[in-house]
Amino acid sequence: MSQLNQLTDKLRAALPAEAVVTDPDVTRTYAVDTAAFCEAGAPAVLVFPRTTEDVQNIMRTATELRVPVVPQGARTGLSGAANAVDGCILLSMVKMDAIEEIDPVNRIAVVQPGVVNAVLSRAVEEHGLYYPPDPSSWEMCTIGGNIGTGSGGLCCVKYGVTAEYVLGLDVVLADGRLLHTGRRTAKGVAGYDLTRLIVGSEGSLGVVVRAVLALRPKPAPQLALAAEFPDNATAGRAVCEIMARGFAPSLMELMDRTSIRAVNSFASMGLPESTAALLMVAFDTPEPAAELAAAAEVCREAGATEVVPAEDQAESELLLQGRRLTLTALDAMGTTMIDDVAVPRSRLAELLDGVAEIADRYALTIGVCAHAGDGNTHPTVVFDGSDAEERARAQASFDDIMALGLKLGGTITGEHGVGLLKKEWLAREIGPVGVELQRAIKSVFDPLGLLNPGKLF
């Protein structure tokens, strides 16, 4: 009996019949996430567990037969972390999508990894609560995927990223054992923080099957303004001044001219195309109008040519919808390669100017949108994927952007993760000692190297 037949027979014996898929036309569609320039192998089988016990059985089988396993969420990732390797089990967690508990007293939610971010957000809202992490793909991405990449979102400037909301995890290890990390309490410092170690590990240490998430009281509806700037330097100055003066915006986002024009072309939003940089600032305090007016004055002092405060929540949401559409709009222009460089806020303008210079040097369209409040930028290279020479220029520009980010004291990824796309750059950022220690940690959790092999390092 071939190993493939042995693998599928063992999986079918341990799982419901519909949970095991071997049709190559189906498995092929699950072999990649949304990242460009990332190769994918041919998976042996695709599985859809529904229970923790299912996942344990899958991992026991994988360990027995020495078969690699690639955990997956909704595959909205942008670094190739969910891409198949040859002969692997694709472990799709989307069927484990139960919200098991919402506790308003302790302000926690207990969820399975396949729960969609937006579904959880709406569910806790009914209890007067708020789950802050809100990636742009929140209508599609799953909590398990968010945990795997340590994702963020538009609200990070005030509320922080996924890692700050994960209190505890249930994790199936490579050999099928079940690990419980963390707690349900607001405080807890017992032992090493294995929860934080798992968050952002991209499925390389274990398979998350349950998460205890911290919730916050639902804030007031936010009110936003849009400020137009003639250049990146003045926009960057406004960002720095808003933070230096003690404001606590719920959102501070930036779009460059290329992004603005892409959104207008895609959705006829009517955003101002004459501006070099459009900064959006929002507040969700009980009385946001006064803070909005004060922030508007700061923008004018920094050099804004026009500042337009929204009059109500509906106008604010329309404005922010333009920002949320940026990556989709740029994607409609051609093949895209989305970067995820984060720099100190004080270096934001330098990064934007540097990306513009890189775009000119390589004769490419590169649009930039940014979570300006925390310095996390998303330069997006647009190119003709069928043109080999242009693909090479796109790859070179992408590398130059990451090098620029490191030069400015930043990091190669703020929320998308490393995956396949940035393996070389992770090694450059953390150095040989850092790589050595991270590999040693992985060997403790996964001594056979079966979980998401070839990713990260």
Total count of residues recorded for the chain: 457
CATH 3.30.465.10, the chain: domain bounds? 99-217
* Residue 136 pLDDT: 84
Helix then strand then coil, in percent of the chain rounded to 5, is 40, 20, 40
Helix axes 288-302, 232-244, angle to 10 degrees: 140
Q: Of the given ranges (119-123, 245-249, 310-314, 360-364), which has the lowest mean pLDDT?
A: 310-314
Query: In this structure, are residues 94 and 74 in contact, taking their beta carbons and an 8 Å threshold?
Result: yes
| In the chain, ranges of CATH 3.30.70.3450 domains | 220-323
In degrees rounded to 5, what are phi and psi of residue 367?
A: -95, 145
* Residue extent(s) of CATH 3.30.70.2740 domains in the chain: 334-422
Model-level pTM?
Answer: 0.95
**What is the rounded average pLDDT of the residues 40-50?**
97
pLDDT at 61: 98
CATH topology of domain 334-422: Alpha-Beta Plaits (3.30.70)
Amino acid at 187: K
Nearest residue to 191 via CA among 201, 183, 200: 183
pLDDT at 69 over 90: yes
What pLDDT score was predicted for residue 226? 96
pLDDT on residue 264: 95
Residue 29, number of CB atoms within 10 A of its CB: 11
11 SS3 class: helix
Region 192-214 average pLDDT: 98
**What integer pLDDT is reported at residue 36 of this predicted model?**
78
- Fold adopted by 220-323: Alpha-Beta Plaits (3.30.70)
The 10s digit of each residue's pLDDT in 178-193 is 999 999 999 999 999 9
As beta bridge partners, residue 227 has 279, 307
**pLDDT (mean) for 218-222:** 94
- Tell which CATH architecture fits domain 99-217: 2-Layer Sandwich (3.30)
Q: For residues 280 and 228, is the Cβ–Cβ distance under 8 A?
A: no
Contact residues for 242 (Cβ-Cβ < 8 A; gap 6+): 249, 252, 281, 295, 298, 299
CATH T-level topology, domain 3-92: 3.30.43
Give the pair of three-digit tokens for residue 218.
């639902």
Q: Among all chains, which residue has been given the structure tokens 């410092």? A: 189
What pLDDT does 1 receive?
A: 58
SS (H, E, C) 374-430: HCEEEEEEEECCCCHHHHHHHHHHHHHHHHHHHHCCCECCCCCCCCCCCHHHHHHHH
C-beta of residue 351 within 8 angstroms of C-beta of residue 405: yes
